[in-house]
Amino acid sequence: MSDHPDTLGSGADLADERIFDHAVHNRPYGNLRISGDLGLVIERPEGVFVAIIDVLGHGPSANTTARQIELLLTQPDLDVRDVTSVLRALHHALLDKRGCAAGLAWCDRATGKLRYTAVGNTAARCFPAVGKEVRLLSRDGTLGAAVPTPREESLTLSPGDVLVLYTDGVSDSFKLSDYPLLRGDSAEVVARTLVQRFGKTHDDATAICLRWKR
Ligand SMILES: [Mn+2]
């Protein structure tokens, strides 16, 4: 849903700062039109927040929980820069509902510093413009049920770097050599290609791509 960079503010304010290109692509399980996955990108003047969520199960009841999570994460007063606090808030909000796997990232626009935390079976991988891939770790568990002490990882993004996040409906075994254009394609094409090329047909499949434009 949030694949439009519509909250960037005036061009003059951000002329010297980095501009993000981002997109979310979701393909529901089977012939369903709704999904228990949620991909969300929220741009703020100070940076960008990314969430990849996989609610247990699929179909209407998983989708109801996914919509509730979306409402929580899009509250204007939520401090999305503190990804660990957001993860904890999500866990508490889900205690009487279906659980989920979640990966949450915040990237600071001025510095490129990225904070990331995740629980459960979602993936986050950074493909730098130069150098080797970095995989960000997720802890075992299920938000709403069993959560270990959240662990936060950090990384500094540089212009041209690509961050992809996806649910377990996308095969986790693809390599850059399976999709070499990942580093050059637009975020929209990358998100769609990951789902179409590496998506599994027996689960909801969602991919997010976040790239710093050069
Ligand atoms: Mn799944």
**Tens of pLDDT along 165-184?**
999 999 999 999 999 999 99
Residue 156 belongs to a domain with what CATH number? 3.60.40.10
pLDDT tier, 161 (very low <50, low <70, confident <90, very high otherwise):
very high
The Å distance, Cα 205 to ligand 1 centre, comes to 7
Q: Could you report the per-residue pLDDT of 90-106, keeping only the tens digit for each?
A: 999 999 899 999 999 99
CB 66 within 8 A of CB 94: no
Q: For residue 11, is pLDDT > 70?
A: no
Q: If you measure from the C-alpha of residue 41 to the centroid of ligand 1, how many angstroms do you get, rounded to a whole number?
A: 19
Stretch 147-161: mean pLDDT, rounded? 90
Report which of 171, 168, 163 is spatially closest to residue 196, judged by C-alpha positions: 171
pLDDT at 146: 80
Instruction: Give the global pTM.
Output: 0.91
Tell me the CA–centroid distance for residue 202 and ligand 1, in Å: 9
Average pLDDT in the 58-73 region?
A: 96
Q: In angstroms, what is the span from residue 186 Cα to ligand 1's centroid? A: 25
Q: What is the pLDDT of residue 1?
A: 43
How far does residue 83's CA lie from ligand 1's centre (Å)?
A: 22
Q: How confident is the model at residue 214 (pLDDT cuts 50, 70, 90)?
A: low
List of E strands, the chain: 20-27, 37-44, 47-55, 100-108, 113-119, 123-127, 134-136, 152-156, 162-166, 205-212
Cα of 109 to ligand 1 centre, how many Å? 30
DSSP assignment letter at 137:
P
Better-predicted residue by pLDDT, 126 or 201: 126
pLDDT at 53: 98
Identify the DSSP state of 76: T
- Over 70: is that where the pLDDT of 114 sits? yes
What is the distance in A from the centroid of ligand 1 to the CA of 172? 12
Q: Give me ligand 1 centre to Cα 203, in Å.
A: 6
User: For residue 31, how far is its CA from the centre of ligand 1 (angstroms)?
Assistant: 16
Q: Is 137 inside a domain boundary?
A: yes
Residue 15 lies in a domain: no
Query: Is the pLDDT at 13 greater than 60, yes or no?
Result: no
Report how far ligand 1's centroid is from the alpha carbon of 158 (Å). Answer: 30
Residue 32: give the domain boundaries: 26-212
Interval between CA 121 and ligand 1 midpoint (Å): 8
Judged against a pLDDT cut of 60, whether residue 15 lies above it is answered with: no
Whether 19 is covered by a domain: the verdict is no
Q: How many domains, the chain?
A: 1
Q: How far, in Å, are 30, 86, 93, 205 from residue 73 at the CA level? A: 27, 8, 11, 20
CA of 56 relative to ligand 1 center, distance in Å: 7
Q: Give per-residue pLDDT as tens, 19-62.
A: 899 999 999 998 889 999 999 999 999 999 999 999 999 899 99
Please report whether residue 206 resides in a domain: yes
Q: What's the average model confidence in pLDDT over 141-168?
A: 92
Q: Judge whether 3 lies within some domain.
A: no
- For residue 101, being part of any structural domain is answered with yes
Q: At what angle do helices 59-73 and 83-93 cross, to 10 degrees?
A: 140
- The rounded distance, in Å, linking the Cα atoms of 97 and 66 is 11
100 is a domain residue: yes
The pair of structure tokens assigned to 89 is 């808030």
The rounded distance, in Å, linking the Cα atoms of 35 and 161 is 29
- Calculate the average pLDDT of the chain: 91
Is 9 within the bounds of a domain?
no
3-state SS, residue 17? coil
Residue 143 or 7, more confident: 143
